[in-house]
Structure 1
Amino acid sequence: MELLVLLVGKTGNGKSSTGNAILATPQFEVSTGILSATEHTQLAESVRQHHNEEIKLQVVDFPDVTCDTAEEAALKEVQLCTTLTYPYHSATCVVVRADVRFTPEEYATYRKTRELLGEHMFGNMVVVFTMGDKLPADYTNNFGEQLKQANAELKQVLKDADGRYVILGGSPGNDDTNQTPDKDRQTGVTQLLDIVLSLHNDSVNIKTLRAVLLGACGSGKTATGNSVLYPNMGLFAVGDTCSKATATFRGFQLEILDTPGINSKDCENPELSKNVRDWFSNFETGPDVVLFVANANERFRDEDHEIFKTCQRVIGDDFNKHVIIVFAGGEGINEGKTMEEKIKKAPLSLKDLLEKAENGYVVFDNVTSSATERLLQRNRLLKNMAELKDANMGKPLAMKQQETSSSWWGILRCTII
């Protein structure tokens, strides 16, 4: 089971401590002073046991951007958060302190956060009350009755959550997840995970995406394929034969085909046409997307352009409608520069390629150790791929017909048989 939990709430309410409690291992920095430890949207991952079941957890900690944050910076965090949680998440935890009064100002923070992230991000919502260990015993044992006397703002938040809430011990600035959690804390986390599991929707429509990787030798195809399949790393190995891997993510069933690298001599060889057809026959009805990989670290080579044009010629007019350019080696782009700046100074061959590739490009850092960056770039590409499939009305790439057949798929199947 894989769960993704989003944490939101006012600065100082204990979001990061809550995230560490959910993960069972402290990964988020917790503030010990007046400043927030969460300045930017961040992701942490872990695997933990829950009722004798192993759960893979991803927790996204969203900062309080409702005050003292410039609009542009706030929107950047929103985009970061929505990309990390694409295409959907299991639950949104609104973190509230149990030991202080819920004020109209805090309610305004909650409403503004909903407005920024979008109402759809709060469909599976649960209220997490922190600082439960600061409450008198009679309050803790009778917390439901206390909530009946809460102000209208807190009652509205609980109504938005359909009455779902849990109480956790521990406090902001006192991350006790390094120590053995007390029984009450363990109980609260168990209750929270039970709620998240009940909210997690395994029945979400799964979108199948079939993609083939094409590119020159040494372009970074294989590393890119492994990055797309994150966190299932290492499924592809560099080789001279096709390699196909599948993986299931939230909302997606991926089928990725890594092909042997092409060089400029191959472009002059009539065998290439047959090889490409053989590669594509690994998909019963053809791929949805072609990921054409080029190296971002090097000056764009004429060889890449020739390979692109050759694939375009072999596959036909449908190629441009189904191809996305992937610049691998994004880690090598000089600090302070962007791919956009490199493209402005790029040779005409690269500009021609980008013009023909109707679906734009993405940049991949295949060596980053950052879980946040790996998930971000993977989700960006998945979103592009899903939108591309929709734009093509779900129709897979169809190779141009051979003169001797009404359908190359049909003749290829006959050949194989």
Structure 2
Amino acid sequence: MEISKALNSRRSVLKENLRKSTIDSVLDQLVEKDFIDTAEYQRIRSQSTDHEQATELLDYILTRGTTVMKSFHGALRRSNSFLAEEIDSALEESLANNVAEVDGAGQSTQTKSNTWPLSEAATCRNAPSNTSASTSQLPQTSQSRSEACHLLEDATVTPQPISFLVVGCSGNGKSELSNALIGHKGAFRVRRNPREGTKTAKGKCLHRRIGDGLWEMTVIDTPGISQEMTETEFHEVVNGVEFSLHGLDAIILTWSYMKSYDNEERERSVFKSLHRLLGNGFLSRLVTVITGADDITMSKFEILEELPECMKEIAQHSQGRVLLMSNTYDHETALCQTSKLINMSLKLTEKNGSTYTHSDLSPICHIPLGEELKIALIGKTGAGKSSTANSILGYAASAVSCGLSSETKHCLYFTRDKGDRRISVVDTPGILDTESNDEHTATILTQVAKMFPNGLHALLFVVNHTRFTKEDALAVDLLRHVFGERFLQYSVMVVTGMDVIDADERVRNKQDYLKTAPHEFLDVLKECGTRCVFFNNKTKDETLRRTQLWKLVTMVEKTVEINNGPYSDGLLRKQEEVQETSTPGQSVVVTVCPAKDTPKGTEHWHAIWKKILDLIKSWRKSRRVNPIDMNQVQNV
């Protein structure tokens, strides 16, 4: 009944971490295999909170046979890898205890080969500290027998919690370091090929005696972070932060003595991504650990002096909190190194006044919750509208054109729905440029009105960073003429090509860029209330993409709040008879007179199109603007 022992030993962890989605998945799989009847299923589901449902589910599982328990374990593997690995860990501990049996003379007959001879008792998180432990539950080598007995004498001592989050690039020795800290070199699987490294955030919690202290030590190992942090890596680091109920005493950034020095640009990019995600609380709890220090003969200060300049800057953020850690599994060395880290981490927690928790994550990487936002992108062909739409959505939805001809032929509707803020986006063809005529322009603006019959929250005017032409200014003037002056109160200028601006040594910041912008651009920006955001549409770094989206969303929210609601007028007004043809998450081509509209709805939208067309023609006449000659259109 090893599975029964494992479930009981991790009972508190399971109760704390089982959430509704996991509980529902487990129950469904138990029903499929006829391991639970309808009455029990409904009784568990009827509990009002996740904690109560988890308690009832565990009570039911533990009163059933081994087959049901193993089925529960298998269900967790498919729905919650963290909890499944907690049970795996308990099974490994139980196996190790069975192997390390004590003979009549009090000597260990066999010791599990991957267990260090450390004076510690493996227990589940939040287990009662005064629970009696049998001799077979402690390390049984002759070297550690007296220390193990001493631990038993202090069984009534409440262990002090301490938690570490281990982060860094792939191949920097995170898992080996995590094993050294937890005191068990099999706790986290070590893979020599960086491509096969840790894929998900994994945490282990054990009781360890180090020096005169008894610690409830939690170590969270995270996947290696790419030079551009992926969306998966982003979420796994967040999961790692949320693992420890106690909070994090230190965030350990790993560098490899053999590898990091040749990859300083990657190390700098990873550090910046972590800083954007974790915020300034990351810097105040940062400890840099250089792994692979087995053969290092230089002192820590000599090593720091030889660092590349960009890595010296990172080390300065640690304010001298740099440790050299050996990867060899030597008992005394491991205890000494871990003791130094514990002392350093406790000072950080005391200095900061608390541990690092989920609430300390940087807000600029988390899209603020709220009602669905509806936005439309307008601009010339080549300005980067489709690329900007993809950046907002977080996936490649709209085709991107690299040439003169516009890739987008019709208004396309997409939805971002990633569990935070729902955002509906309309990507439009170019206005007043490629293949454009008055009828086509009227069709585009009618499609925007039709997709958002209840109004929109923002109209994004997208311009390329290299050029703001007369045609751009004319497009804004046309929109003002069609929709009225009020539409400018909801307009935001989006400048694409932030990656090029950042790489230009002559431009120190966005303010420098704006100082050199043509007066036509500045005039339009002033009319838009100086609302302007810069987008890097080439980056794959999740923290950068979220940061620029956060700036846009907060700017739109403030605009809507100031104007007491979304923008709407005679063109953007709901008609009961008009049927919407959009499907969230999919591209939709909307024509002016779709066949499935009611006759009255078709008549309404045709009237809107005719009205817009008349406004465009009156605008041309008043501004003396001729239709664009395609032979004169410049490639932008």
The bucket for the TM-score relative to the shorter chain is 0.5 to 0.7
- Check 1:15–1:292 CA distance in 2 against 1; reply closer, same or farther (3 A cut): same
| Contact in 1 for aligned 2:457/2:560 (Cα 8 Å) | yes
Name the one with the larger strand percent: 1
- Paired with 2:524 and 2:449, the residues of 1 have a C-alpha distance of 22
- The share of aligned pairs that are identical, in percent, is 17
List per-residue Cα deviations over 1:297-327 (Å, max 9, x = no partner): 23x2111111011112211122122111101
2:389 is matched with: 225
1:234 is matched with: 397
List per-residue Cα deviations over 1:247-302 (Å, max 9, x = no partner): 2134301100001111259998376345413322101312111111000123x211
Q: Which amino acid aligns with 1:40?
A: F
1:254 is matched with: 423
Name the one with the larger helix percent: 2
Match of 2:524 among 342, 349, 353: 353
| Contact in 1 for aligned 2:496/2:537 (Cα 8 Å) | yes
- The structure with the largest alpha-carbon Rg is 2
1:292 is matched with: 461
Match of 1:64 among 262, 268, 283: 283
| Contact in 2 for aligned 1:329/1:365 (Cα 8 Å) | yes
Q: Which amino acid aligns with 2:360?
A: M
| Contact in 2 for aligned 1:114/1:121 (Cα 8 Å) | no
- Paired with 1:357 and 1:392, the residues of 2 have a C-alpha distance of 13
- Paired with 1:102 and 1:271, the residues of 2 have a C-alpha distance of 67
Equivalent runs, 1:8-19 vs 2, <5 Å? 14-16=166-168, 17=174
Q: Does 1:416 align with 2:602?
A: yes
Match of 2:273 among 42, 51, 69: 42
| Contact in 2 for aligned 1:295/1:329 (Cα 8 Å) | yes
| Contact in 2 for aligned 1:267/1:306 (Cα 8 Å) | no
- Check 1:117–1:60 CA distance in 2 against 1; reply closer, same or farther (3 A cut): closer
1:30 is matched with: 254
The aligned length equals 286
Cα deviation for residue 27 of structure 1 reads 2.5
1:121 is matched with: 360
* RMSD after superposition: 4.7
| Contact in 2 for aligned 1:11/1:63 (Cα 8 Å) | no
| Contact in 1 for aligned 2:376/2:428 (Cα 8 Å) | yes
User: Mean Cα displacement is larger for which, 279-288 or 384-393?
Assistant: 384-393
- Check 1:371–1:67 CA distance in 2 against 1; reply closer, same or farther (3 A cut): closer
List per-residue Cα deviations over 1:154-198 (Å, max 9, x = no partner): xxxxxxxxxxxxxxxxxxxxxxxxxxxxxxxxxxxxxxxxxxxxx
Cα deviation for residue 115 of structure 1 reads 8.7
Equivalent runs, 1:29-108 vs 2, <5 Å? 30-32=254-256, 40-43=271-274, 60=278, 63-65=282-284, 99-100=338-339, 106-107=345-346
Q: Which amino acid aligns with 2:273?
A: Q
Q: Which amino acid aligns with 2:426?
A: L
Listed as ranges, the gaps of 5+ residues in structure 2 are 1-20, 22-79, 81-161, 169-173, 179-197, 202-221, 227-252, 262-266, 288-312, 318-335, 362-367, 401-406, 579-599, 604-636
Cα deviation for residue 364 of structure 1 reads 1.1
2:296 is matched with: none
2:348 is matched with: 109
Normalised to the residue count of structure 1, the TM-score between the two structures is: 0.55
- Check 1:14–1:275 CA distance in 2 against 1; reply closer, same or farther (3 A cut): closer
- Paired with 1:351 and 1:106, the residues of 2 have a C-alpha distance of 50
Q: Which amino acid aligns with 1:329?
A: G
- Paired with 2:387 and 2:371, the residues of 1 have a C-alpha distance of 24
- Paired with 2:355 and 2:384, the residues of 1 have a C-alpha distance of 37
Kindly indicate whether structure 1 or structure 2 has the higher relative contact order, using CA contacts under 8 Å at least 6 residues apart. 1
2:538 is matched with: 367
Q: Does 1:397 align with 2:397?
A: no
- Paired with 1:111 and 1:310, the residues of 2 have a C-alpha distance of 61
- Paired with 1:381 and 1:116, the residues of 2 have a C-alpha distance of 31
| Contact in 1 for aligned 2:380/2:431 (Cα 8 Å) | yes
- Check 1:371–1:408 CA distance in 2 against 1; reply closer, same or farther (3 A cut): closer
| Contact in 2 for aligned 1:297/1:330 (Cα 8 Å) | no
Cα deviation for residue 98 of structure 1 reads 11
